[in-house]
Amino acid sequence: MALTERIVAEDLRQRLGLPDASQAMRFLIGIPEVLKETGRKVAQNPFLRPTLLTPRSLTTAALTAGAANLGQLYSTNKILIEYIDRGQIYHLSSTQPLRRIPIEAANLPFQFDQYAYYYVQGDSLFCRDYQANVLTGSINLSVPFYPATLANLPATEEIERLFLDKMYEWALSNQDPTNDAAADGAK
């Protein structure tokens, strides 16, 4: 089943012991934050991760002086920059994904390796070939992202349950202690 705000509110009503779903509706403002947290949890799980990877053919970034702007990809594709290494990045010149290296080794040639590589510094992703030459053109990414809306959340039971559990945790930490019904239901 695909989650809707009504289903989320009803789930919260039941868990918090509220008399009706209208009282649970106030917690729906937390949905964007909880979607992002759900994306992070999915990115950490190697079995769930494939359900929230950007489509490689649709997620591209131009390289300017060998660097791609991750901030732009974050705002348009909702990529999780902190989990970019859990996905794959391809340069048009290679059939193999680029390998991530630590920034400290960024300008060292990798004589033992014939693969291109990348490193992340701030909001920029830098791409080099195995001899440390700057790559040009564009890259394609298949990396973890978070759903922007409930409609973008994969309709799998495990991910929906993960979202609803995170939503309940968020509601518990953000409920108004003056609301006796919510406070009584959470006990």
* pLDDT score at 180: 47
147 backbone dihedrals φ, ψ, rounded to 5°? -70, 135
Helices (H) and strands (E) in the chain, counts: 6, 7
CA dist 57 and 77 (Å) reads 13
**Token duo for residue 51:** 């359900």
Residue 93 is predicted with a pLDDT of: 80
What domains are defined for the chain?
Answer: 5-49+146-181 (no CATH), 54-142 (2.40.30)
Q: How far apart are CA 45 and CA 166, in angstroms?
A: 15
C-alpha–C-alpha distance, residues 132 and 118, integer Å: 10
What pLDDT score does 179 carry? 52
Asked if 183 and 171 count as a contact pair (C-beta separation under 8 A), the reply is no
Q: How far apart are CA 48 and CA 95, in angstroms?
A: 25
Q: Give the pLDDT score at 158.
A: 96
Give pLDDT, residue 183: 46
Confidence at residue 108, expressed as pLDDT on a 0 to 100 scale? 63
DSSP state of 133: P
> Which parts of the chain register pLDDT below 50?
112, 180-187
Closest C-alpha to 164, from 20, 22, 37 = 37
- Summary mean pLDDT of the chain: 87
